[in-house]
Amino acid sequence: MPSFDIVSEVDLAEADNAVQNVMREVATRYDFKGSKSSVEIKEGVITIHADDDMKLRQMHEILQGNMQKRGIEPGSLDYQKVEQAAGQSVRQQVLLRNGIDKELAKKIVKEIKNGKFKVQAAIQGEELRITGKKRDDLQEVIAFVKGLDIEQPLQFKNFRE
**Other CB atoms within 10 A of residue 24 CB:** 11
- CATH number for 12-96: choose from 3.40.50.620, 2.60.120.380, 3.30.540.10, 3.30.70.990: 3.30.70.990
How far does the chain reach from its first CA to its final CA, in angstroms?
A: 6
Q: Do domains 3-8+99-160 and 12-96 have the same CATH topology?
A: yes
70-112 pLDDT per residue, tens: 888 888 888 888 888 777 888 888 888 888 888 888 888 888 8
Q: Which fold has domain 3-8+99-160?
A: Alpha-Beta Plaits (3.30.70)
**Phi-psi group of 136: left, alpha or beta (phi > 0 → left; psi -120 to 50 → alpha; rest → beta):** alpha
Environment class of 11 (CB within 10 Å of its CB; exposed 0-12, middle 13-18, buried 19+): middle
* Beta bridge pairs of residue 124: 127
Percent of the chain with pLDDT over 70: 100
Per-residue pLDDT band at 127 (split at 50, 70, 90) = confident
List the chain domain ranges.
Answer: 3-8+99-160, 12-96
On whether the CB atoms of residues 104 and 110 are closer than 8 A, the answer is no
Question: What is the mean pLDDT of the segment spanning 15-28?
Answer: 89
Q: What's the chain's average pLDDT? A: 86
34-66 pLDDT per residue, tens: 888 888 888 888 998 888 888 888 888 988 899
